[in-house]
Structure formats: structure tokens, C-alpha cells
Structure 1
Amino acid sequence: MRFEYFAVADDETAALTIDGGEIDGSVGSHVVDPASVLGQLERLLGGPVGDDGLRSAQLVAESADGARLVIRLSNHLVSLFGMVRPATLDDVVKHWSLSRRFRRADPEDLNAFAAGLNELCKGSGKRVYCRATADEAELAPARTPVGVGAGVGAGVDGDPEEPRPLPRRR
């Protein structure tokens, strides 16, 4: 998955990015999932301990083929992360990077991402969103034709007309 974080005025404007075009001023990542990984960041910054991360993000739009989602980050997360000072950002990222999700991530990439997201979250009067785009490899199985007998490649409930859901990230 490719995750692009950006700030715009409202949900309607954010939903217009579903077409996959370039987003000015976006901050990108391949590992910072807006639900699970940002939920970890929110808890680290003082968010609810029992939260599974899904309150950190809300779906705004989905492309017809399911390849792209636009997700709004919670006001709470944006407010908390926007208050992190540049002097303490490295310490926050150091603790955040202990997540097993970042095992293979380059620490410099995570620091650069966090600095960019921190700037997006600072009182710009705009909401912060993420456009998640599936990689071609993740979409290929959903486009596979129905196999003979076992229903290989079938979509939802074995219906070849229904696309398979995107694989859940663990």
C-alpha cells in the first residue's frame, strides 16, 4: 500500500483526490497505515489505551475498484501530534518506531515522514487526510478470472462479478 497524507479544508475536497492524481504538499509512506499505526501513535501521545486504532481514522471515500481509499484522521490525533515540538519529535519517533510494523522501515524515512506529518497537523485550520492506494500486486488476485470447479479467483461469495476485498494489513 502507498499512503499519502495531506491537509485540505473538508471531506468533499479530500474525496476529490480519489482519482489518484498528484496531491500538492503530501507526505508519503509505505508503512504508516492510518488506522493501526497512527492508532499506536495516538496512544503513545496520550490517546485511549484500549483503542484498536480505528478511532484514529474514518473513511471518507472509496474508488469504485477498491484500489484507493481516502481517510480522515481524527481531530484528537491531529491535535495531539500537532502539539509535538520539533525538539521532542525525535524522542516520539524513537518510541513509535519500536512497533513491529516498523521492523523493516528505515529510521530516517520514519523521521522524515513524522516531521512532514507534524507540519500537516500544526494549526493550519485544515483537516488531515490519507489517501491509501493498493499496489498492483495486491490488486492482481482480485482481477483473476474464475477458475474451474473450486471457484478460484471468484469475488465475494463466489460471485465473479464482485471484486475481492483488499487484503487486510497485519
Structure 2
Amino acid sequence: MLFEYFASPDDESAAGTIDGRPLGSTVQSRVVDPASVLGQLERLLGARRDDDGLLSAQMIAESEDGARLVIRLSAHILSLYGRVQPDTVKLLVDQWSMSRRFRRGAPGEDLYTFAADLHALCREGRGGVYCRATADASELAAPPAPAPESMVQARTEDGVLKPLPRRA
């Protein structure tokens, strides 16, 4: 996946980028997805650890073929990350980079540069910050493997199925 983070004045304008048009100034990553990986950053910034999922992102658009998503970063993470002083970003990334996801990350990706550039987007504060996630051709060619029911859903005491919270 390619994750392109960008600023936009509103959800409607951001959703309009679902067609793949050039975004202008972006912060790109092949590792930092806006849900689980930014959720880790959100928790490092002081978000509750006992929530039922992630507060960091919400999908606002999806292409018909499923190859692209546009996701809005929450005001919560923008506020938390935007308040961090620029000289503190490196210390924060030192902790964030200990995640297993980064140890397996994309070759040549510099998490410190990504974090500094994303920090600048969050501090600008005009409109919102969004992520356009685009699947690689190889990801689209392979049929998705179905997840076992035990990994996708859990049963409550009354037998009703409910989604499991995402893991960090």
C-alpha cells in the first residue's frame, strides 16, 4: 500500500481525490497506515489505552474497485500531535519506531522524516489532514484470503456476533 497524507479544507474536497488525481504536497509512506500504526502514535501521545479500537482515522471515501481509500485523521490526533514541540518529535519517534511494524518496514523509508513532515501538516491546522491509501497492483491481483471467524468476530454472552477491536 502507498499512504499519501495531505491537507484538505474539508471532507468533500478530500473525497474528490479518490480518482487518483495528483495531490500536490504530500507526506508518503509504505509503512504508516492511518489506522493501526497512527493509532500507536496516538497512544504514545496520551490517548486512552483501553478504547475499543482506534480514534485516529475514519474512512470517508472508497473507490468502486476498492483500490483506493480516503481517510480523515481525527481532530484528536491532529491536536495531540500538533501540540508536540518540533524538537520533541525525534524523542517520540524513538519510542514509536520500536514497533514490530517498523522493524519489518519498507526499505529506505525514513520514519524521522515522515514524522517531521506529518507533524508540519498537523501543525498547519487548515482544514483537515487526510490519507489516500492506494493498493499496489500485486495486492489487487491476489484474491483476499478469508479470515477464520474466530479472528474476525467474537460472540457476546447472548450469542450476538461483534467485531473485535483492532490491535496495535
Say whether the fold is shared (TM-score over 0.5). yes
Who wins on radius of gyration, i.e. which is larger?
Answer: 1
Superposed, 1:1-170 pairs within 5 Å as: 1-51=1-51, 53-105=53-105, 109-142=110-143
Q: Please report how far the alpha carbon of residue 65 of structure 1 lies from its aligned counterpart in structure 2 after TM superposition.
A: 0.1
The count of residues paired between Structure 1 and Structure 2 equals: 145
Contact 2:55 2:76 in 1 (8 A): no
In 2, distance between residues paired with 1:99 and 1:73?
A: 20
Residues 73 and 25 of structure 1: CA distance in aligned 2, closer, same or farther (over 3 Å): same
One-letter amino acid matched to 2:110: D
Stretch of structure 1 that moved more, 80-89 or 37-46: 80-89
Give the root-mean-square deviation of aligned CA atoms.
2.0
> Please, which runs of 5 or more residues in structure 1 have no aligned partner?
144-152, 154-169
> Please, which runs of 5 or more residues in structure 2 have no aligned partner?
146-167
Q: Using structure 1 for the length normalisation, give the TM-score.
A: 0.79
In 2, distance between residues paired with 1:89 and 1:108?
A: 17
The structure, 1 or 2, with the larger RCO (C-alpha pairs under 8 Å, 6+ apart) is: 2
In 1, distance between residues paired with 2:51 and 2:41?
A: 11
Q: Please report how far the alpha carbon of residue 104 of structure 1 lies from its aligned counterpart in structure 2 after TM superposition.
A: 2.9
- Percent same amino acid among aligned pairs? 61
In 1, distance between residues paired with 2:82 and 2:27?
A: 15
In 2, distance between residues paired with 1:18 and 1:81?
A: 26
In 1, distance between residues paired with 2:36 and 2:91?
A: 20
